[in-house]
Every structure is written in C-alpha cells, then in structure tokens.
A = this chain, B = another copy of it.
Amino acid sequence: MKPVKVGLVGLGTVGSSVFNLLISNRTELERRLGRTIDVVHVGARRDNPVCNLSAVRVSRHVLDVAFDPDVDVVVELIGGTTVAKEIILTAIAQGKHVVTANKALIAQHGQEIFAAATEKGVGVYFEAAVAGGIPVIKALREGLSGNRIEWLVGIINGTGNFILSKMRNEGAAFAEVLKQAQALGYAEADPTFDVEGIDAAHKLAILASVAYGIPLQFDKTFTEGISQIEIDDINYAQQFGYRIKHLGISRRTAQGIELRVHPTLIPERCPIANIDGVMNGVLIHANAVGPTLYSGAGAGGNATASAVIADLVDVARSLDVSAANRMPPLGFQSAAMSDAPVLAMDEVETAYYLRLTAEDHPGVLADITRILSSRGISIEALLQKEVSDPAHDLVPIVLLTQRIKEKEMNAAIAEIEALDSIASKVVRIRLERLDA
C-alpha cells in the first residue's frame, strides 16, 4: 500500500520527537499498517539540529504545509491559538485529516474546528492534548464506549503534581518547591498557567466533552490553584488518611455537568493518590465497568509524540472509511451532542476539609458545630490540636465534612469567620472519597 503522507508543522520538542520516532519506529509501524507513515513536508520557522530534514520539503511559511496537495494528514505542533488554528482550518478545508497536541486550541476553538471537519468528512485527532502519552481520549471515546460515563478525575498537570508530591515528601513550602521545579525545567518562569489550573482546565474541558458528548466549555470551568496549599494542610490530610492532589473533576449529575479544577483531598489508599511527581493519571467511573485508571507520562517530547503517532495510525486505518462511519472528533455524532448545562460552582456538591484557627476557650467548638449543623453539614472527623501559639492561646481545629452543596459551605464559612473566637480566614480544601 502507498505511504500515508504527513505534513508536520512545528519542530520543537514534540515535533522533533514525532519526526524522529516515525523514523526509529518505522519498521514497527509498517508491520502494523502494511504501509509506512512518511513525513513529506515540514513547516518550521527554523530547522531543529536533532532532525535530519534532507529528504523532506521544508517551508518557513508554515501554512504552505496545509495547502500541499501531496499531504494526507497535517500534524499541528506549533501551539498557540492563532496560526495553529489557521493551519488546522486550512488543512480541513483542503480535505486533509488533522492531528494536534494543542489543548488550548481544542479547548477554546474545538467547536469551530470539529464543525468544519464534520462538514468536510475528515477526522480531527487530539490524543496528545490530554495527559501526554496516556491513551485516555481513546479509552473514553472507544474503550469505554459501551458505558455511560458518570464521572472522572484527573491528575492532568505534571508541574502541579510534581510540586505537591515534593511538598509532601520533603515537607517543603510551595514557594521553595516551585523554585526547584523551575530549575529542573518542570515549571515555567511564569508558572501561572500550570499552578493556577488553567492548563488542567483546558484538558478537563476536553475530557468532559469526550466523556459525555457535550460542547467544549473551558470558559465555564471552575479553577482554583495550588499556591495557597500549606505544609500543615498536607500533614493534617495525611493524619486523616488523605493526600492532596490538584485534580480536574467532572461529574454528570441530574442538574448538570460539573467542571472544576482545584486542590482535593483523596483517600491515600486509592491508586490515583499514589501517582506522584510529573506523572499524570485519570480515573474514570463508567456505569458498566465501574472505575478504571490510566496513568503514565503526561508530558515530554517522546511521550506526547507517542500519542500523536497513535493518532496517525488511526488516520491511516480510517482513510477509506465513509463519512457516516468516521469517528466523530468527540466520539459522539455532532447531531447528538448533549446540551446539559454546566453546573455553577455554588450548586456543586462535595465534601470538605476545613482548617480553622480559633481561640482556646470552651464554646468555640460548639459555635462551629452549631453553624455547620444549621446548614445541614455533617462532620465526619475532627482534630483539635494542642495550643500552637501559647502567646495568643490559638488552636488549630481541623475537620472533614460529609458532602454538601458549595453554597451552603460558603455561607457556613462566612458565619464561622464572623465569630469573635476565630482568628483568621478558614482554610477550605474540597475532598472527594472517589467511592461512587
């Protein structure tokens, strides 16, 4: 069979890995497909010395790749949401299939891109956009297609997981570990995108769309970062048998879809609680199979390239599929997308970890439990420590609650903070038991 001809746009870390892996794993790919996958055209503003480009056409004007009639599939790996979008829409308009690792672009402009692809009968593949080399889009879209997906939680930002793991292992503060992560190249000079959960929100929006067949709704995703997490909280969590992870969480409820990224206490005996360092993991709860977990490298050139090439193999296998049978980008027919609303954070139900700093006199605990109880909030566990600040007679009170709507918890926290005996803001971290 004739080769599948690839136009590769972007020759950075991932692009160069794709280019070189297609060469080094060429025999294995040909054993699978009965044909080769050949990069015939590279679009890059500059060469990358790790790639031997002598046998391929190279364009500095990267859009040329999308117009090349010799190209069957365009692989977009330049990132960003402007030129990348133009390249992808042009490739689709030219009748070419598209593979991309661009989570920001899919999360923000996926609808437009998918509509164009459906119109032209071509495929759009983006396994590499979420959790790097872990085939979790494929698991949701195909492997679990016999199920109704109920919820999923993911450690989908390696930088944040590295920081939280290191804080716990070394008892070091956030700011200190962030500096180490930056020195190691795991965090950017401006770490906002990773540590505030924006990157995770992009990926969560994509996972939820593929899980439930809903439009991409990154803009409605609730986001809370990890920069406020203190060692004390990690340690208290551990005393209760929990770990703190920065999770993307999505749940399909009768009222709507939850989309939220925030630090979360999860039971330490859950396998996902033990996914540490820069590793990623996604736990999916589906109605037939129950929970399944997928973990591995969430970033890095070769890991991401692994996902890109798997998408290319899927494209190769589906070149002659009819438009009606072609895998829709989200795994659901475009005419069958659900319009279930995204649930406002106020309406989300979850459990909580609360840490209060209170004056050490009788009656404080009674006030707190009265306030919680009046809002229907049940306490599951409580830890009152010895006086931590003898000069001011302040004690930390740490408690875990049962599930309750966020708006009730917000109101309760406001009331608690208004008590004279409460010395500072209440620390509140959400908690998920992951058991149903």
Contacts and interface: CB of A to CB of B under 8 A. Distances in A.
A132 B29 CA distance: 27
A135 B144 contact: yes
Given A138-B143, A146-B313, A309-B145, A293 B292 contact: no
A1 interface: yes
B271 A290 contact: no
Nearest to A336: B31
Contacts of A133: 288-290, 292
Interface residues of A, number: 72
Tell me how many chains of this kind the complex includes: 2
A146 B305 contact: yes
Contact of A288 (B30, B146, B305, B313): B305
Contacts of A336: 30-32, 34
A33 B333 contact: yes
B292 A295 contact: yes
- Nearest 10 CB-CB pairings of A with B: A135-B143, A146-B309, A133-B289, A292-B296, A31-B336, A289-B306, A288-B306, A145-B313, A288-B302, A34-B333
Given A144-B310, A269-B274, 19 more contacts: A25-B287, A31-B333, A32-B336, A135-B142, A135-B143, A142-B314, A271-B275, A271-B295, A286-B306, A288-B305, A289-B297, A289-B303, A291-B297, A317-B321, A317-B326, A317-B327, A318-B321, A318-B325, A320-B322
Interface of A: 1, 17, 21, 25, 28-34, 127, 132-135, 138-139, 142-148, 213, 269, 271, 274-275, 281, 286-297, 302-303, 305-310, 312-314, 316-322, 324-328, 331-333, 335-336, 338
